[in-house]
Every structure is written in structure tokens, then in C-alpha cells.
Structure 1
Amino acid sequence: MGKYDPLRDYLRRQKTDELELSFVEMERKIGYMLPKSASLPQWWASTADPATTQIQRRAWGDAGFDALLIAGADRVRFNRVKAPHPAH
């Protein structure tokens, strides 16, 4: 199981097309503290490449979401973009 799989699984279960999670909420789901780099927008920037090596991006991409850091709030907005990528 990958470090961010619990976040991916949580997002897959969501019925809404948009939701916000705080860093604390995500840390509770994954069981780890997010790295300091999570406070940077580029850590959350989505990629069109489904084979990305950024495991955190793959987690929400596989669930069919993009992520956007809400500046200064330690929160992230997830927006559904399409059907999830096939499981790896």
C-alpha cells in the first residue's frame, strides 16, 4: 500500500465534484504528517501525465481529482476532473 492510498480511497468514495480538506484532515487519513513542501503550490499542482512519479499527485489523479492549495489556509480544494485513472 502506498503512503497516499488512504487519501486516494477517500476521494474515490466522494459523491461531490468538489471538496476541501485541511492538512490535519489529510494527515489523519494517511497516518503521516505532510512534508513541509506541501505548503508550496507546486506540490499540489496536477499533471496531465498519468505516469507521474509524484506519488501524492498520483493519489488524487487516480481518484479523478485535481488539487489546488488554498494559499495561507493549510487547506486544499479537490475538484473532480474526469473518470479516475485505472488502478496501477
Structure 2
Amino acid sequence: MIRKSLNASRLQDEVSRRLHRIHEIVEDGVKIRVPRPQKQEPDASGCNWTMKHFGNAVGYDRFVDEVLRAVRAEYNLSDTDDAKDIHSLFGE
């Protein structure tokens, strides 16, 4: 499967969105802090980013791992930085 590319903010948002849709997390009213993705050399699967140190996630490790596994299989971290993406929205 070919991965799509997202910038750091969008990857962070996607992981957060998926986590906060999980029934158990919604039901418990937990707000998990999702860290910024960190660029790394592509691993054996070809993924070039990772996330560590989720906040307020004690007891929800299984869900965090499942979401990370799914998002890492779908997306790579793009080489463009967030500031450039903002400027491109305005045609700059």
C-alpha cells in the first residue's frame, strides 16, 4: 500500500481524531494529549515517523497502539513544514 503524505500538524490531528472517536475514550470523557510526530529514517515497513509520550493515556495504551499502527500504515510525514503549508493556502 502506498502511503499518503501529511504534514506534522495534520498527522497529529488525524491521530487525535481517531483516538477521540473510540467508544471507551469518549465514554470515559478522557482527553488524550497527542504529541507531534517525529521524523525518523523509514523503518522496515517504510514509515518515516513516530510518536512518543502521549499525555493522559494511562490505561488506554492498547487504543493508542492500534491507532498509531493504522495511521503509520496509511501516512508518511511530508517534507514540507507547517509554515510553508499555511502560506500556500494564500497563494504565497
**TM-score for the superposition, normalised by structure 2:** 0.29
Which structure features the higher share of strand residues? Answer: 1
Greater RCO between the two (CA within 8 Å, min separation 6)?
A: 2
CA radius of gyration, larger in: 2
